[in-house]
Amino acid sequence: MKFIADVMVGKLARWLRVLGLDVVYSSQYDDDEIIRLANAEGRIILTRDTRLAARRHNGRCLLIESDNYKEQLRQVLACFDLKGFNVFSRCLECNRALEDVDKETIFEKVPPYVYLTHERFARCPSCNRVYWHGTHADEMLKQIPL
Ligand SMILES: [Zn+2]
């Protein structure tokens, strides 16, 4: 299941990426572009815009009700049968699937403490950001209303 989020639900898009879901999002997209991409790539539109939600297009659309990202996340998770999340498998900035990397190769890219205390690292093939599953990740996951 793939999604595309409009500019008003950017924070929601990020959180869905934390869960490993494929969510296209850019503050540059207008309504026409969102509908075009949704149709071309079979994505479900997530929007707070009633006019966008009412426009006719081939795919599915979910009108997000709340202003609050936790409520929004709850709505999406309740609406779709999403299971088996592959958390922290996707770049939060560019939505690309992360690739596992050899610990040695990222030695200069992460703080020494992180390097010494973690074993598994992953890198985004698009922006080269390095991710690791640390305390911050656990704190983020605790906030998710699953
Ligand atoms: Zn990236």
Residues 53-69: tens digit of each pLDDT: 988 666 789 999 999 99
Distance CA 10, CA 83 (A): 22
All structural domains of the chain with their residue ranges: 2-79, 99-143
User: In the CATH hierarchy, which top-level class contains the domain 2-79?
Assistant: alpha beta
pTM of the predicted model as reported, rounded to 2 decimal places: 0.86
Question: Under DSSP, is residue 119 helix (H, G, I), strand (E, B) or coil?
Answer: coil
| CA of residue 52 to ligand 1 center, whole Å | 28
CA 1 from chain center: how many Å?
12
Are 93 and 124 contacting, i.e. CB atoms less than 8 angstroms apart?
A: yes
Mean of the per-residue pLDDT values for the chain? Answer: 90
| CA of residue 143 to ligand 1 center, whole Å | 23
| CA of residue 51 to ligand 1 center, whole Å | 31
